[in-house]
Amino acid sequence: MARTETSTHCPYCALQCGMNLRPVTDGTVVEVVERTDFPVNRGALCGKGRTAPAVLSSAVRLTVPLVRSAVSGELEPAGWDEALERIADGLRGTRAAHGADAVGVFGGGGLTNEKAYALGKFARVVLATSQIDYNGRFCMSSAAAAHQRAFGLDRGLPFPLEDIPRTGCVILVGSNLAETMPPALRYLTELRENGGKLIVIDPRRTRTAEQADLHLAPRPGTDLALALGMLHLVVADGRVDEEFVASRTNGWDEARAGVMAHWPELVERITGVPVPQVREAVEMFCGAETGMVLTARGPEQQSKGTDTVGAWINLCLATGRAGRPLSGYGCLTGQGNGQGGREHGQKADQLPGYRKLTDPAARRHVAGVWGVDPDALPGPGRSAYELLDALGSEVKALLVMGSNPVVSAPRAGHVEERLRSLDFLAVADVVLSETAALADVVLPVTQWAEESGTTTNLEGRVLLRQRAVTAPEGVRSDLEVLNGLAGLLGHGKGFPAEPREVFDELRRASAGGPADYAGITYERIVAEDGVFWPCPDEGHSGTPRLFLDGFATDDGRARFVPVTHRPAAEETDAEYPVVLTTGRVVSQYQSGAQTRRVAELNAAAPGPFVELHPRLAERIGVADGEAVAVTSRRGRAVAPARITVAIRQDTVFMPFHWAGGGRANTLTNPALDPISRMPEFKVCAVRVEPA
């Protein structure tokens, strides 16, 4: 048998590391082979990427549709015709009884661009509902909103990763790359090898913080005050780049007035970071000729996340570290297609090409591509948590594709209750996730190695995953699912099942929009190791670096946005005296629906834990490994204690990959950022005691 290799990309995080897949049996099983020529990871892979083929096994994934029996109440195997008809009947009946907006759609940041595009079109054209959003709202929506406010355009990184080692100083805020994106850590290592400086801001001394020249450990929820305190010192010490501010920005006077209220001693009281450390960070950042600020979920998953990211952007603008080579602000997108997923219509307020759903011209353009009346397109709907919160009341039926909100949503116990209260729930997924287990119909769908399609990584580089193996008999792609449902619901045309055909339509729909893919083809992606958007025509080379000639605003100037510190939505008190923050571990991914089915990954990270400082452990009387109960105003979770000096004494940390009694998101606060509608995953008040 020929052992030909297929070039493709990892199914997990937004690095979208390149890999080759080589068949080892009859074409249904593959092994991962290094792909050293792909520039993002240069052959490096984490354990999740190396073991990704394990989830292709029929032993761990769905291979037949499941329909809940009216007799037994259990999910039982069914044929595809029956399953699709049940879904069509459920969606049609709900709409007839309660109106179009009683039907909701919940997508995922792991769906390819083709699937995200088709899902948004399906919701708005076939279902005529405004109620569509996706779990990417939980990922980097605050950074996206701040990008839009300051620069007029949102792309996670406005420069390629290869620029990071060549800058003078990087401030990394709320990111643990060593565990969340291990192959990217090499860029920070190379930065320091080249003489650059690394500042890490995190309440925990993570494996990434261990690599830093300076580690600042603020109290969770105070990143905004820290950024304002640093900018205060920039102003006070005369380090503002006055020429850049005058020639390339607007709004500095108003922003500066707010900054001056955040003097160093006040910032120390708020954050717990000593003034000398704040001064050292400013010296290090401003002392370099070039610099970058990179944020991740830490500052973004807060009820003031947009303002927090905005404060870090203001620091970049005031020091002239934006819109110049080897300088800028960037966001480290988390999910595999978190960037592309929000560009092409899954978000409640957006149309393909990152167009605004409220823009009449955008509606006319997209409606023209779709062959519908612009006035027939519904308006913006609820954001992700608000949509989940409305289940069972305003929203009676829900179609879920590629998401597991029972584990991943804030206040997860409440969300699980809302899902159970639905009149009808359908889930399309690779595995029987905790959310799928609640459904009336579950559809088994293909995954990354069994289908072709594009994703857009954190750099804005559009990539092509190529089909390498044949899916098990009985499994269909998400595009085939939407094609079948659209036909049953009276739309026999407009929903092709072939990815390339969908992508070509996406190119037309995005043409002229902020995220313009018109010039990107499958052939170019393969030939060029990905193409950076915007790319308006096939003669265009793509745009690896944004903003060098001007920002994407009406006047080409970046905008300072005045912000001031405010507390977290929920502060500690006598009953709940400790702060909980959440995050990831290297051997699991997101809700764990797939990685928890891989033996090697489970051996490395078998279950949840509570990380706490020795003094807190002594105070509550718990030893390492003993069960700890963590209680918030929303619920209680129990997991073994992991005692370490690498965390603040007033803070505990829990990873969020597990369901059941150790589910971290049972505790988290759904308080929403007023602009991005991002929930406050990273900060809530809890009580910690022996279980």
Query: Can you give the CATH number for the domain in which 28 is found?
Result: 2.20.25.90
Whether 407 and 457 share a structural domain: yes
> How far apart, in Å, are the Cα atoms of 640 and each of 627, 663, 667?
4, 12, 16
Give the pair of three-digit tokens for residue 482.
């939407």
User: Rounded distance, CA 135 to CA 535, Å?
Assistant: 27
In 185-321, which ranges are E strands? Answer: 197-201, 214-216, 249-250, 292-295
Residue 383 has pLDDT above 50, yes or no: yes
What range does the domain containing 88 cover? 66-138+336-532
255 within domain boundaries: yes
Give the pair of three-digit tokens for residue 44.
């490096």
Q: How confident is the model at residue 4 (pLDDT cuts 50, 70, 90)?
A: confident
The 10s digit of each residue's pLDDT in 559-585 is 999 999 999 999 999 999 999 999 999
The 10s digit of each residue's pLDDT in 456-466 is 999 999 999 99
Task: Look at residue 27 in the predicted model and tell me its pLDDT.
Answer: 62
The secondary element (H helix, E strand) that includes residue 284 is helix 275-287
User: Rounded distance, CA 466 to CA 450, Å?
Assistant: 8
Task: Look at residue 3 in the predicted model and tell me its pLDDT.
Answer: 58
Whether 413 and 443 share a structural domain: yes
User: Rounded distance, CA 484 to CA 568, Å?
Assistant: 46
Region 474-482: mean pLDDT is 97
CA 135: distance to chain centroid?
A: 7
Residues in the chain: 691
Give the pair of three-digit tokens for residue 43.
């052959």
Whether 344 and 199 share a structural domain: no
Report CA torsion sign: 655, 659, 665, 666. Answer: negative
Task: Look at residue 594 in the predicted model and tell me its pLDDT.
Answer: 95
Give the pair of three-digit tokens for residue 278.
């704040």
Backbone angles phi, psi at 650, to 5 degrees: -95, 10
Neighbours of 648 (CB within 10 A): 22
Instruction: Specify whether the CB–CB gap between 617 and 643 falls below 8 A.
Output: yes
Q: How confident is the model at residue 25 (pLDDT cuts 50, 70, 90)?
A: confident
Instruction: Specify whether the CB–CB gap between 229 and 312 falls below 8 A.
Output: no
546 within domain boundaries: no
Q: Which amino acid is at 320?
A: G
Instruction: Specify whether the CB–CB gap between 67 and 82 falls below 8 A.
Output: yes
Task: Look at residue 308 in the predicted model and tell me its pLDDT.
Answer: 98
Whether 347 and 452 share a structural domain: yes
Given 37, 56, 75, which residue is the final one in a domain? 56
162 within domain boundaries: yes
Whether 327 and 354 share a structural domain: no
Region 637-651: mean pLDDT is 98
- Of all residues in the chain, the percent with pLDDT exceeding 90 is 97
Whether 320 and 345 share a structural domain: no
User: Rounded distance, CA 378 to CA 391, Å?
Assistant: 19
Whether 292 and 366 share a structural domain: no
The H-assigned helical ranges of 489-542 are 499-510, 522-528
Residue 43 has pLDDT above 50, yes or no: yes
User: Rounded distance, CA 443 to CA 447, Å?
Assistant: 13
- Name the average pLDDT for the chain: 97
Q: Which amino acid is at 537?
A: D
Instruction: Specify whether the CB–CB gap between 211 and 185 falls below 8 A.
Output: yes
CA 349: distance to chain centroid?
A: 17
554 within domain boundaries: no
Residues β-bridged to residue 170? 198, 292
Strand order of the sheet with strand 30-34?
6-9, 18-23, 30-34
184 within domain boundaries: yes
pTM of the model: 0.96
The 10s digit of each residue's pLDDT in 433-457 is 999 999 999 999 999 999 999 999 9
Task: Look at residue 51 in the predicted model and tell me its pLDDT.
Answer: 96
Instruction: Specify whether the CB–CB gap between 140 and 334 falls below 8 A.
Output: yes
The H-assigned helical ranges of 260-374 are 264-271, 275-287, 297-300, 305-318, 338-343, 360-370
Q: Is the peptide bond before 534 cis (omega within 30 degrees of 0)?
A: yes
Q: How confident is the model at residue 29 (pLDDT cuts 50, 70, 90)?
A: confident
Return the CATH number at 389. 3.40.50.740
Whether 341 and 197 share a structural domain: no
User: Rounded distance, CA 516 to CA 677, Å?
Assistant: 25
Whether 51 and 101 share a structural domain: no
For the chain, the farthest-separated pair of C-alpha atoms sits apart, in whole angstroms, at 75
Whether 403 and 368 share a structural domain: yes
The 10s digit of each residue's pLDDT in 261-281 is 999 999 999 999 999 999 999
The 10s digit of each residue's pLDDT in 185-234 is 999 999 999 999 999 999 999 999 999 999 999 999 999 999 999 999 99
71 within domain boundaries: yes
Q: Which amino acid is at 218?
A: P
User: Rounded distance, CA 621 to CA 385, Å?
Assistant: 36
Residue of 277, 278, 276, 274 lying closest to 228 (CA atoms):
278
Number of domains in the chain: 4
537 within domain boundaries: no
Whether 327 and 375 share a structural domain: no
Region 384-395: mean pLDDT is 98
Return the CATH number at 180. 3.40.228.10
- Of all residues in the chain, the percent with pLDDT exceeding 70 is 99
Residue 1 has pLDDT above 50, yes or no: no
Region 490-509: mean pLDDT is 97
**How many Cα atoms sit within 13 Å of 444 on the Cβ side?**
25
Residue 2 has pLDDT above 50, yes or no: no
DSSP 594: T
552 within domain boundaries: no
Instruction: Specify whether the CB–CB gap between 308 and 299 falls below 8 A.
Output: yes
User: Rounded distance, CA 599 to CA 647, Å?
Assistant: 29
Given 468, 498, 532, which residue is the final one in a domain? 532
Give the pair of three-digit tokens for residue 289.
């000729």
In the block, which residue shows the tokens 């963590």?
630
Give the pair of three-digit tokens for residue 417.
């209750």
User: Rounded distance, CA 337 to CA 9, Å?
Assistant: 11
For 546, the 3-state DSSP assignment is coil
Pairing state between β 684-690 and 578-583: antiparallel
Q: How confident is the model at residue 26 (pLDDT cuts 50, 70, 90)?
A: low
Given 316, 332, 348, which residue is the final one in a domain? 332
Q: How confident is the model at residue 334 (pLDDT cuts 50, 70, 90)?
A: confident
Whether 457 and 475 share a structural domain: yes
Return the CATH number at 639. 2.40.40.20
Provide CB contacts within 8 A for 691, sequence distance 6+.
626, 627, 628, 629, 638
